[in-house]
Amino acid sequence: MTPVRPSPPSADLPQLAVHALWWCWFPAFILSWDALPTEGRWGMCVLGWAIGFWNYAVLHNHMHLAIVRPRLGNWVVSRTLGMACGFPFRGYYIHHLNHHRFDDGPGDWGRRRPGERVFRYCLRSALTPWLWPYETLGHVWRWAKKKNQRLELAVDFLLVDGLLLAMVVWKPALGLAWWAVLLVTQFCIHWLNLAAHFETNSEKKDSLGTTSYSAFYNRWFFNAGYHQAHHLKPQVPWYELPALTEKLAGTARVRPELTTELSPINPLWVARVAKRYSAKPCDRQTESKITSGTPTAVI
């Protein structure tokens, strides 16, 4: 008999604490802008980027298992988490469902294009939804068929894009600075996706994602390194992913070539992925397949 998993708590306090940091930063960013010198403004922007990037780990987990269970609280936190990362929540939620449906393979809206280098991929992925969002909007609009989803889409786009536009009109330097913070944050978020699917294979169940055993990364980013386990069991709570990974490894569902002790934010891993995806004249990983005998995810 399969043991019954206990119900998750009504509020995930560690993740809510990380989100609370953004709620402290954002009002302070707005209210202190005029009084801060140039160095102080730069400092607030860097702090905002760090907090926003950290909040993405919370947003990602929240899309799979709500960090606040009561309905109203869940709705509000969904919107504010989206704002923290610059994503209209319902649109990004649908985009993420598509990612889990296709596992970074053909059909995944966010996958890397053939021959595309790391910097270009991250920059394109960050800029396109802001400057040329029509393809993305078309995708998510067609998928938003459940009750109220299209209304939520409209509300979320007005909330994020509308607030940003209002800030640019009100105080151009402040608004543009916030936009820059969001762009850099999203650039880094798309890097995480690239690293999490470095040399993976959407057609093989043991190769859907990489696995980082970095103690630092998993401690502070809520076990985000266990991406293979997450793709196999996306509704498993973050605190159960290490045990699940160990269990999957025991049944040959975690490919050793796709594991590493480094975190995706470690410069060594960044350099390895960037070098691999800049290879010429031919890019053998254009279909996100594993190159036999080339365990480049392992360092």
Q: Is 270 exposed, middle or buried (0-12, 13-18, 19+ CB in 10 A)?
A: middle
In angstroms, the first-to-last Cα distance of the chain is: 40
CA angle at 86 for the pair 82 and 87, rounded to the nearest 5°: 55
Q: For residues 278 and 118, is the Cβ–Cβ distance under 8 A? A: yes
Neighbours of 189 (CB within 10 A): 22
Sign of the C-alpha dihedral computed for residues 18, 20, 25 and 30 taken in this order: positive
Token output for 38? 């140039």
Neighbours of 45 (CB within 10 A): 16
Q: Which amino acid is at 132?
A: W
CA angle at 261 for the pair 103 and 212, rounded to the nearest 5°: 25
The pLDDT value recorded for residue 240 is 98
Q: For residues 201 and 288, is the Cβ–Cβ distance under 8 A? A: yes
Full-prediction pTM beyond 0.85? Answer: yes
Nearest to 148 by CA among 89, 100, 235: 89
pLDDT < 50 regions, the chain: 1, 281-299
- Cα distances (Å, whole numbers) of residue 140 to 53, 66, 71: 23, 21, 23
Nearest to 163 by CA among 139, 190, 155: 155
Neighbours of 234 (CB within 10 A): 13
DSSP output for 76-142? HHHHHHHHHHT--HHHHHHHHHHHHHHTTSTT-TTPPPTT--HHHHHHHHHHHHHHS-HHHHHHHHH
The pLDDT value recorded for residue 5 is 63
Q: Could you report the per-residue pLDDT of 30-39, keeping only the tens digit for each?
A: 999 999 999 9
The pLDDT value recorded for residue 10 is 87
The pLDDT value recorded for residue 294 is 35
Residue count of the chain: 299
The pLDDT value recorded for residue 4 is 57
Distance of CA 90 to the CA centre of its chain: 14
The pLDDT value recorded for residue 289 is 39
The pLDDT value recorded for residue 3 is 55
